[in-house]
Amino acid sequence: MKILITGSNGQLGQALIKALSDHIVYPHDIDTLDITQADAVETCVAELQPDFVINAAAYTAVDKAESDVETADAINHKAVANLAEACANHNVRMIHVSTDFVFDGRNSTPYTPEDTCNPVSVYGETKRDGEIALLTKLFERATVVRTAWLYSETGANFVKTMLRLMQERDQLSVVCDQVGTPTSASGLARVIARMVDSNQSNGIYHWTDAGAASWYDFAVAIYEEARAINLLNKEVNILPIPAQNYPTPAERPHYSVLDKSRCYTEFDLPAIHWRVELRNVLVALSQQEKTVG
């Protein structure tokens, strides 16, 4: 199949290119396709005539979005509407990646795809509006995949930031009362590739790695796993702190674990614990470091 990937330079975009190597892939990022421009999107889809569009592009600067509402909305909402419109015009299926931030975090059990959205940040609001635009315009040819806490061996992410800070400092303080699930970009890309191969997905799905963790738990795991493979060669004291001690412009959900049962059932997928995927990424980072060295 022919697949147009937007946001192809990002960590998920790069993982998707690898996961979809058996298909004809057209990778595009902002330098080759500005998805906020409806005419450009329509021309691209008309020329390529893909079977799928996978939108991995997003405005993900959660705190900056609070003061940059127009840009966040242009990328997370209006650009999705542009892509959906072009897909509707040319009978193309579309998979759009969304976020756990569409929820308010007041649940105490994992959120299902059917749960009501109630975002508490501009980022979450614009991502929810993007979902609505897609599902309204494309109906049964539209798939939304909500994910959370994405990271990989490429790009900027929590894992790489923690590793850098652990090299620089002897003590770190990390929020302990926001709970979700770390998710490797390669794992999410494998799921999306399965959706493409099935050619039957529609509606809303949730996917993260299995299990749950606070940011503090995640940081401690990064430390322990990095030490185990000699990616980090010093001791670091990691302290748990409440979110109120680390104020940010954007409010974040305190609990945003996602229920993945629909993916497990429809695509016969194994539940892989987030710590296993973390270990794989850290090994890849270690190998990169040795190659560069």
The CA–CA distances, whole Å, from 236 to 5, 167, 278 equal 39, 9, 19
Which one of 26, 59, 111, 123 is the catalytic residue?
A: 123
Q: Is 54 left (phi over 0), alpha (psi -120 to 50) or beta?
A: beta
DSSP 117: P
Whether 53 and 92 have beta carbons less than 8 Å apart is answered as: yes
Instruction: Please name the residues in contact with 247: beta carbons below 8 A apart, sequence gap of 6 or more.
Output: none
Please give the single-letter amino acid code of residue 233. Answer: N
Give all strands (DSSP E) within the chain, no chain letters: 2-6, 24-28, 52-55, 93-99, 142-147, 150-151, 171-175, 179-180, 183-184, 203-206, 213-214, 237-241
At 102 the three-state DSSP class reads helix
Q: Which of 252, 218, 3 is nearest to 124 (CA)?
A: 252
> DSSP assignment of 6-58, as one string?
ESTTSHHHHHHHHHTTTSEEEEE-TTT--TT-HHHHHHHHHHH--SEEEE---
Q: Which of 160, 58, 49, 148 is nearest to 105 (CA)?
A: 148
Q: Is-catalytic flag, 246? A: no
Rounded CA-CA distance 111/261 in Å is 11
Catalytically active residues are 123
